[in-house]
Amino acid sequence: MKHRVVRLISKLPLVRPDIVSGKVKIDSLNVTYRDGLLHVHLDGFVPRERTALVQERVELFQEYLERDIGEPVHVDFSIIAVDMIEVSGKPPERHPIGQQGDAKSE
């Protein structure tokens, strides 16, 4: 069952962007049966400005799983709200063709 849940989660951004969009990072996933009920627990990171949407999205995700799997599911998601910062190196210098600037071309 865990493989099925993982498959459903991995395709969520494509098939249900209303549930998963942006920069949510899932750190771990635990799928178990307890007392005859499927429990799905996720740990992850969510941009701080998106935390208000998490409860609604978890409920949508639970409904999505229940429809696909065909049985009741309990979903809970432990989140860490983070400030997302993207950092990248400066672009490489471009040299005109024939002037690569390395020892091989000299």
* Measured CA angle at 13 (ends 7, 17), to 5 deg: 135
CATH number at residue 17: 3.30.300.20
Top mean pLDDT of 20-24, 52-56, 73-77 is at: 73-77
**pLDDT score recorded for residue 38:** 93
104 pLDDT band, cuts 50/70/90, is: low
Q: What is the pTM of this model?
A: 0.70
> Which is higher by pLDDT, 106 or 85?
85
Strand partners, 77: 42
Under a CB-based contact definition with an 8 Å cutoff, are residues 58 and 76 in contact?
Answer: yes
Domain hosting 10: range is 2-84
- Rounded distance between C-alpha atoms, residue 73 and residue 76, angstroms: 10
Instruction: Identify whether 91 is part of a domain.
Output: no
Instruction: Identify whether 89 is part of a domain.
Output: no
Nearest-CA neighbor of 13 among 78, 81, 64? 64
Count the domains in the chain: 1
Beta strands in 58-102 (DSSP E): 73-82
Q: What is the mean pLDDT of residues 22-27?
A: 79
- Rounded distance between C-alpha atoms, residue 33 and residue 39, angstroms: 6
